[in-house]
Structure formats: C-alpha cells, structure tokens
Chain A
Amino acid sequence: MRGENLALGATGLAAFLALGEAVPRLGLVKEAYFPPTSRIAGALGDELADSAFWTALGDTLTGWAIGLAIAVGAGIAAGVLLSVVPHLRAATASTIEFLRPIPSVALIPLAVLLYGTELRSVLLLVVYASFWQILVQVLYGVQDVDPVAEETARSYGLGTWARVRHVLWPTALPYVMTGVRLAAAVALILAVTAELVIGAPGLGARIAVAQTSQAVPEMYALIVVTGVLGLLINVGARTVERRALAWHQSVRGEVAV
C-alpha cells in the first residue's frame, strides 16, 4: 500500500511538471510570465550555485527559527500561566479574542517604523503571527486535563509545580505539538512576506529583486524553494510530533492486549 501510494504521488508530480512544461511551449500562456518547467529548473540550478542565494536562505531560516522559538516559548509560558493562575484566563479571554484576529501583515507599517529593514522587523511579524497559534492550542490542551488524573496527582501529594510538570504538560503536549506545526508554517509565510514587502534580507527580498529585474525564471525558482522549505518544515514537525507523542492514542494506534 505504502509503495503504491508513493508511486501514485510521484506519477502525479511528474504529470504536473510535464503540464508546466507543455502549457507555455504550446503557447497557451505567455512564456515571458510563465516559463516552462525546464527553464525554471535551469534557473534553480543557477541559484543553488550562487552563494548569495545561500546567504538569503540562511537569513530567512534565521528569522523563521528565532521567531518561532520566541513564539513557542512565550506561547507556552503564557498559556500555562493563564490556566494555572485562577481567574486570569477569564480576565484575558476578551483581549485575546480581540488581538488574535489582527492579521500580522497589518503590523508591517509598525515594524518598519520601529526597526526599518532589520531582522527585528521580520521577528515582530513572525512572532505575532505564530504566538497565537501556540497560545490557543496550549489553552485548549490545558483544559483537556483529565479530572481523574488530576485527582490522582493531588491524592499523592503532588504540588502545583509537580502537577504542571507531570500532568498538565504531558496532557497539553499533543495540542502544543499541533500548535508548533501550524506556527512553523505560519512563521515561514510571515518571514517571506516581511522580506518581500519590507525588504529585509532573505529569500523574500531576493524574489522581489528577481521580479523587478524581470528575471522571471529565477523568481519562480525561488518560489519553488520556499515551497520545498514549507514541505520540509511540515515533515520535520510531524517527525518530532510522532517521537514526542509515542504514548499518545493518535500515534500509538490500537494496541492488541
């Protein structure tokens, strides 16, 4: 089954690439705006040979990773704090519901005002977008604590901190993992967006340069790179999830007893 799925997936991708090659060649779309697959592949090869590309990739990944790390740390800390301190959650709920839907890109003018084209501009947008993903998942996860598990912990004299560590945190972990996976994807989108719009160094800025200099195949090649990056990030996040949650029902599946 697995091999069959893999073969089907490969066939689908090959067909898609072939279509990308054929459509411009047949003149169905203008080749100037939509170069055939082979030219994009050629441009990608050139990019990979260019050290400036690797610097840009490094900048994007730096912004992504630092931003995501800050968002995960802050989101978890805030989520646990809001849940553990009585009444805090109720007091902050309306504020969170107000702040959360603000699109991160709406903060671009603010970021430019504060930090110009520095890395910190990117971080502001990345952190703002991914923080809510984590926070909301942590809040849900913490609510999921089983009252029996909680009572067991209390009956064995586990204090607040021990209960957070041994009951609340493992219960919330599957939710946190989902939050991290979502946040990792959002963080990449925002990192590239910030570079593209603000001009902070990175793949986004490189895409903008390719566009303004009419280097259309290069532009597509860079877009492909961002797509592959997103794919790898998702696969990586899922692997981490499976390892960390080996005990969880969603991962372990049915166990024959």
Chain B
Amino acid sequence: MTHVPLVKGRSMHALLDVSGLRKVYEGSGRRVEAVRDLTFTVDEGELVCLVGPSGCGKTTLLKCMGGLLAPTSGAVLLEGKRVTGPPPGMAFVFQEYGRSLFPWKRVGENVELPLRQKGLDRARRRELVADALASVGLADAAGAYPWQLSGGMQQRVAIARALAYEPRVLLMDEPFAAVDAQTRADLEDLVRGLWRERGITILFVTHDIDEAVYLGERVLVLSASPTVVQEQLTVDLPRERDQLHTRVAPRFAELRTHVYEQIQAAKRGPAQEGPARLRDEPRDEPLRKVTGAGS
C-alpha cells in the first residue's frame, strides 16, 4: 500500500496561475486540440515538475505560459498579471540547446545578449554574466563558441543565460532529454542546487518519471492529449537529495511507481472525473489518498 499525499487548496496568491487553459491548433483543414483544460498554480519558490506521456502537449503548455503562444481560451497569470507576450520575469530553457544558443556569438555574448535588451549597464552585465557562468561551473568558457563545447556544457550555458536574466520563474522544457545519462544526472543536481541557492521558481517539464520525482517538490501528472491535469502530488522526499541515495530510497520507489501508474492510466484516456480542479476544493479535506493495488 502506498500513501501519496495529493496537493489541495493552494494559496490564493500564487506566483503563476494557469486557469482553464485550452489550446487548439487549426490549420490546413485539421483541428488539433493539444491542451483541453489545464488549471493549476505554482507558488513562489516552488520547483514543480510537469510529467506526462509523450505528445501530451507539455511543450504547448509551456509556450503558452512563456507568452510564446496565445492560448485559445483560459489565461496564464504571472503575479496576478495576464501573460500576453514573453514577460520580463520569465526565462526559458529549451530542449534543443544547440539551436537555442547562437553559434555566431561566443558563450559570454550569448549570456549577455538578453541583458543588453534589458538595458542594464556594462558593469552590471559583466557581473551577471560572470556570476551566472560561475554558478553553472563554466567560468572559463566565456570566450569559447557554443559549438566548441560538449552538449552538457552547452545546456549549462543555456541555463546560465536564463540565470543571468534574473527571472522570477524559470521554464524548462525537457532540457536534459538530449544529453547522455551521466551528464543528465549532473545537470539535475545543478538545477536542484541552483533552485536551493537562488530561490527561483522553477517549472520543469519532462517525460522522464524518475527525473520528475527526483527533481520536483511537487509533480503534476498530465493526461494524454487533449491534456488535462491527471493528478498533482507532493514529493515528500528530503530537501537534500543525491543521485546515489535518493534514487534507491523506498519512498522514491513508491512515488515513482505511483506516477508511473498515473501515466499509464493517462495513456488510456483522460481522468474519469474530468479535469482535476484540485485547488478549488476545500482546504480542510484530508491530504492523503490511498492508491495502489494489493492489501
């Protein structure tokens, strides 16, 4: 028997508030409902992982949140303000680091470019670039071109660029899907470390269940397309996590199994009770739900 705490009744003043988000792509006679009805919130300083079956509209959701795509209906609020275009308080880390970094600019210039657009003065820009590169362990790489670096290092540069931008919210779209397993483990620890040091709010999209449970303080399980929130659960693992011990902890296995089951259920179809609007439910309900077979 596995006990998994479900998240209910979050605070009224969420940093990010996604309500009734729906996105329908129309074109060349085809109508694809990528996201049906998504409602959830992210609080200040949280690290939330979004996990779902492949092709479930995770990227669509993230792009809507980042102001890169206009939702068909529903809204994304950042600090109570509706997102209509890329907001200054958000930074994006893409899966395709090789295409997201500009090959015609050196690493330092890549990190600095958004700061120039922000209108920061030269000294401040330099300070931020050096600090961001140092905190991803690439202090010496400022003068190199991105294509001279390995894949993992390139993704570190992309993360440094996002950090230097000093965002309130960091949106990460399957950032480690294209790197090898060992690099991936390092980068996961880097993200957790940065989250703990800097207190940034991170929304991390992944298709990897283990990664979602290892990284997240909370995991949102999305259904298959058309997407709704299948389930939200709090990851009650200790704040200190490491690849060696956390991943073999019994609790980790329980959570991972639970998420896995949810994903399998999600693949079969959307949650039967319809879209989960858990935050609308009364706060004083028991925060535990019993799942799993057996007993």
Q: Is the CB of B68 within 8 A of A155?
A: yes
Q: Is the CB of A157 within 8 A of B147?
A: no
* Chain B hits for A249, CB < 8 A: 103
* Chain A hits for B5, CB < 8 A: none
Whether, in the assembled complex, B143 has its beta carbon less than 8 Å from a beta carbon of chain A, the answer is no
Q: Give the interface SS of chain A, mostly helix, strand, loop or mixed.
A: helix
Q: Mark B104-142, 1 if CB is under 8 A from A, else 0.
A: 110000000110011000000000000000000000000
CA distance A162 to B117 in the complex (A): 8
Q: Mark A61-74, 1 if CB is under 8 A from B, else 0.
A: 00000000000000
CB distance from B163 to the nearest CB of A (A): 12
CB distance from A147 to the nearest CB of B (A): 8
Interface of chain A residues 241 through 257 with chain B (CB within 8 A) = 247-249, 252, 255, 257
Q: Is the CB of B148 within 8 A of A257?
A: yes
Q: Mark A157-168, 1 if CB is under 8 A from B, else 0.
A: 111001000110
CA distance A248 to B150 in the complex (A): 17
Q: Given A152-B94, A156-B91: A255 and B148 within 8 A (CB)?
A: yes
Q: Given A162-B117, A247-B145, A252-B147: A155 and B103 within 8 A (CB)?
A: no
Q: Mark A125-152, 1 if CB is under 8 A from B, else 0.
A: 0000000000000000000001011011
Whether, in the assembled complex, B268 has its beta carbon less than 8 Å from a beta carbon of chain A, the answer is no
CA distance A247 to B104 in the complex (A): 5
Whether, in the assembled complex, B165 has its beta carbon less than 8 Å from a beta carbon of chain A, the answer is yes
Q: Which of B91, B94, B148, B161 contacts A151 (CB 8 A)?
A: B94
Q: Is the CB of B147 within 8 A of A155?
A: no
Q: Which of B103, B114, B161 contacts A158 (CB 8 A)?
A: B114
Q: Given A156-B113, A156-B114, A166-B113: A148 and B88 within 8 A (CB)?
A: no
Q: Is the CB of A149 within 8 A of B66?
A: no
Q: Given A170-B104, A257-B148: A157 and B86 within 8 A (CB)?
A: yes
* Chain A hits for B252, CB < 8 A: none
CB distance from B85 to the nearest CB of A (A): 8
* Chain B hits for A30, CB < 8 A: none
CA distance A167 to B114 in the complex (A): 12
Q: Given A149-B99, A255-B147, A257-B150: A156 and B165 within 8 A (CB)?
A: yes
Cross-chain pair count, CB within 8 angstroms: 62
Q: Is the CB of A166 within 8 A of B148?
A: no
Q: Is the CB of A156 within 8 A of B86?
A: yes
CA distance A78 to B25 in the complex (A): 32
Whether, in the assembled complex, B291 has its beta carbon less than 8 Å from a beta carbon of chain A, the answer is no
CB distance from B97 to the nearest CB of A (A): 9
CA distance A156 to B99 in the complex (A): 15
Chain B residue with Cβ nearest A156: B114
| A149, A249, A255, most chain B CB atoms within 10 A | A149
* Chain B hits for A247, CB < 8 A: 103-104, 145, 147
* Chain A hits for B102, CB < 8 A: 149, 166-167, 170
* Chain A hits for B228, CB < 8 A: none
| A152, A158, A170, A247, most chain B CB atoms within 10 A | A152
CA distance A157 to B103 in the complex (A): 19
| B67, B90, B100, most chain A CB atoms within 10 A | B100
Whether, in the assembled complex, B149 has its beta carbon less than 8 Å from a beta carbon of chain A, the answer is yes
Q: Is the CB of A155 within 8 A of B104?
A: no
* Chain A hits for B99, CB < 8 A: 146, 148-149
Whether, in the assembled complex, B204 has its beta carbon less than 8 Å from a beta carbon of chain A, the answer is no
Whether, in the assembled complex, B92 has its beta carbon less than 8 Å from a beta carbon of chain A, the answer is yes
Interface of chain B residues 1 through 37 with chain A (CB within 8 A) = none
CA distance A182 to B13 in the complex (A): 61
CB distance from B68 to the nearest CB of A (A): 6
* Chain A hits for B113, CB < 8 A: 156, 158, 166
CB distance from B257 to the nearest CB of A (A): 35
Q: Mark B161-188, 1 if CB is under 8 A from A, else 0.
A: 1000100000000000000000000000
Q: Mark B41-83, 1 if CB is under 8 A from A, else 0.
A: 0000000000000000000000100111000000000000000
Q: Is the CB of B103 within 8 A of A248?
A: yes
Chain B residue with Cβ nearest A252: B147
Starting from the known contacts A148-B99, A151-B63, A247-B145, 13 additional A-B residue pairs (CB-CB under 8 Å) come to A149-B99, A149-B100, A152-B92, A154-B86, A155-B66, A155-B92, A156-B114, A156-B117, A157-B114, A248-B103, A249-B103, A255-B148, A257-B149
Give 6 A-B contacts (CB < 8 Å), ordered by A residue: A156-B91, A156-B161, A157-B86, A166-B113, A257-B148, A257-B149
Interface residues of B (CB under 8 A from A): 63, 66-68, 86, 88, 90-92, 94, 96, 99-100, 102-105, 113-114, 117-118, 145, 147-150, 161, 165
Which 7 A-B residue pairings sit nearest by Cβ, starting from the closest?
Answer: A156-B114, A148-B99, A155-B92, A170-B104, A152-B100, A247-B104, A155-B86
